[in-house]
Amino acid sequence: MQELIKALIKAKAEFNPIQKDGTNPHYKRKYATLDAVLDAVTPALGKHGLVIIQTTEIFESKTVLRTHIFHESGESITSTYPLPEIADSQKLGAALTYARRYAVCAILSVTADEDDDAESVNNPKKAEQPHNNIRPRKDNQQSRVQPTKQAITPPSINPKDLRVKEVRTLLNYPLDLVKEWLHSRNVTSPSELDTTKIDELVKTMCLAWAGNKFGHPNHAVNSY
């Protein structure tokens, strides 16, 4: 992992200052969002042949966030961050954003003011009880109560499909090539693959990215 560490040391020396572009609504203080952190570090990482990729997957029956740093040589490091089990999609999104920001800062050893994106997840406020302003009707006729409409839960995305999609989108890897790769394995979707095959597909996309970006794919393949 020597080449990756050397490149990371050089990149860290060129990171831009992390801008505090968000405001915590509860404590009225500024903090750096995930976008601000990535804007500060991505140019230097790319200059030195590094890229950060974050994916979600199921590990031991729990959803985890994987944060990878890939180097053009094929070397990589990975960190794992467990995600909370939350049914509410809005709170889950906030928790995922918080986890991604935390994981990026941790794996790069950079500091950004702590925010409370996950505050609503870890310390949910009790819902206020509505005041009873209903007045009885003179004819004593009871008001009709409309049945509560049940919220429609959006369909969940298979973690394997999501992982491949996130990597493909980040690396701008052609969808047709992914389909050809799947077809060669006699499947039509990443969800039909086991974890080893998913890792193989991700590796294929990352090596292709390194080869196209730096012009020497053989070096990337031989060093992976």
Residues 90 and 2 in one domain: yes
pLDDT one-digit tens code per residue, 168-215: 787 777 888 888 888 888 888 888 888 888 888 888 888 777 766 665
pLDDT score, position 127: 44
Q: What is the helix (H) or strand (E) element at residue 54, kind and residue range?
A: strand 50-59
pLDDT at residue 146 tops 50:
yes
Residues 15 and 115 in one domain: yes
Residues 13 and 107 in one domain: yes
Residues 15 and 82 in one domain: yes
Q: Would residue 18 count as lying in a domain?
A: yes
Query: What are the CA-CA distances from residue 175 to residues 162, 172, 186, 202 (Å)?
Result: 14, 9, 17, 13
The contacts of residue 40 (CB under 8 Å, 6+ apart) are 15, 16, 17, 18, 19, 32, 110
For the ranges 85-94, 162-171, 179-188, which has the lowest average pLDDT? 162-171
- Rounded to an integer, what distance in angstroms lies between the CA atom of residue 116 and that of residue 27? 9
CA atoms within 13 Å, Cβ hemisphere of 8: 19
5 within 8 A of 108, measured Cβ to Cβ = no
pTM assigned to the model? 0.51
Residues 47 and 106 in one domain: yes
Q: Would residue 70 count as lying in a domain?
A: yes
Residues 170 and 109 in one domain: no
- Work out the average pLDDT over 124-144: 51
- Work out the average pLDDT over 54-66: 90
Number of structural domains in the chain? 2
For the ranges 41-50, 138-147, 189-198, which has the lowest average pLDDT? 138-147
User: Which amino acid is it at 12?
Assistant: K
Residues 113 and 188 in one domain: no
166 within 8 A of 54, measured Cβ to Cβ = yes
Q: What is the helix (H) or strand (E) element at residue 90, kind and residue range?
A: helix 89-108
Residues 102 and 209 in one domain: no
Strand partners, 65: 56, 81
Q: Would residue 35 count as lying in a domain?
A: yes
Residues 69 and 178 in one domain: no
Residue 34: Cβ-neighbour burial (10 angstroms; 0-12, 13-18, 19+) = buried
For the ranges 16-30, 81-95, 126-140, which has the lowest average pLDDT? 126-140
pLDDT at residue 3 tops 90:
yes
pLDDT one-digit tens code per residue, 100-123: 988 999 999 888 765 444 444 445
Q: Would residue 222 count as lying in a domain?
A: yes
Residue-range definition of the domain harbouring residue 51: 1-122
- State the sign of the Cα–Cα–Cα–Cα dihedral 136, 139, 145, 146: negative
Helix (H, G, I), strand (E, B) or coil at 120: helix
Residues 169 and 106 in one domain: no
Residues 27 and 114 in one domain: yes
175 within 8 A of 165, measured Cβ to Cβ = no
